[in-house]
Amino acid sequence: MRRTLRARICLPALLALTAVGLGSGTAGAAGSDSSGNPSPGVAASPAQYALHTSLERDLGDRTAGSYLDAASGELVVTVIDAAAAEEVRVTGARAEIVTRSMAQLRAAMDTLESKAKIIGTSWGIDPSTNQVAVEADSTVSAASMAKLRGVAARLGDAVSIKRVAGAFKKEVAGGEAIYGGGYRCSAAFNVSKSTTRYFLTAGHCTNSASSWSATSDGPSIGTREGTSFPTNDYGIVRYTDGSRPAGNVNLYNGSHQDITSAADAIVGQSIRKSGSTTRLTSGTVTAVNVTVNYGDGPVYNLVRTTACSAGGDSGGAHFAGSTALGIHSGSAGCTGSNGSALHQPVKEALAAYGVAVY
């Protein structure tokens, strides 16, 4: 099971938790990071989130996924036949007939899982290319790369491979923000069930401790109530200090972004990541259904982005405007402004614990 990290800061004034801002504030301009740089990618609308989800559910294996067109901003739904294309067009989305179905792409990932499960690799579906996009970090040896390329070659052009700098790792560090078990992590989103308040974080963080604090060696603000890692990477912490923190995210520029809904990320959309180490960074979603092979076990169904992150950002928030998207899991580091931040889809964690953003 995936580890679940639940850590939330109960002290409203002190709360500048990694990704979740507990205090109130004015939302910053969507689509820019704390240094004012514009986010790449396309802003997704509530209607596009809803259409993306409903069409993928209704079409099943007749679609190979959806993405946002960078030039027009349209939702593009890939399909394998003309009948499915017509179903897409009547909804107002754009249909694109592709060669490989979702079942074929998943079969390619199953082959990689069984024959090339190498630490330091990850793979996921990129609907915009109709391929499984594989990344191999700097720790993958020449022999392992040869094995990976050999397996991929048997899958033809269904698979693309790219080397990335750095090494895929869970980004936990000793330090500040939310503390437990000798680690510093970041909080993602404040959530609730009835009148009880919690916060979500990474499971590889919550696996390490049951009690969480807002300062190093400080008083406990919350107790772990669930954790899941590997396989998943989410956890939940119940506030035990009597606080009722706001449901927003710290933008690290003196303001906060209110979070009012949750959705699954769409390839091509712009996102922002808030964490206690690199603070607010931005990027674009590049793949979904991603498997990452960490040293202590694989995690499945993640989302790959180009946002920058570093140690201590684990558990932080991935979001777009007022929409919660994911819980930061890890990355292979960052080169300049180009990163590889991975997130656990937040809707899965919300469903697992029966909680909601507010």
3-state secondary structure the chain: CCEEECCCCCCCCCCCCCCCCCCCCCCCCCCECCCCCECCCECCCHHHHHHHHHHHHHHHHHEEEEEECCCCCCEEEEECCHHHHHHHHCCCCEEEECCCCHHHHHHHHHHHHHHCCCCCEEEEEECCCCEEEEEECCCCCHHHHHHHHHHHHCCHHHEEEEECCCCCEECCECCCCEEECCEEECCCCEEEECCEEEEEEEHHHHCCCCEEECCCCCCEEEEEEEEECCECEEEEEEECCCCCCCCEEECCCCCEEECCEECCCCECEEEEEEECCCEEEEEEEEEEEEEEEECCEEEEEEEEECCCCCCCCCCCEEEECCEEEEEEEEECCEECCEECCEEEEHHHHHHHHCCEEC
CA separation (Å) from 43 to 77, 252, 315?
17, 21, 23
Catalytic amino acids?
Answer: 204, 233, 314
Task: Report the distance separating Cα 175 and Cα 345, nearest Å.
Answer: 26
Contact 197, 187 (CB under 8 A): no
CA separation (Å) from 254 to 16, 23, 24, 249, 276?
10, 10, 10, 11, 14
Task: Report the distance separating Cα 210 and Cα 330, nearest Å.
Answer: 21
Task: Report the distance separating Cα 60 and Cα 77, nearest Å.
Answer: 12
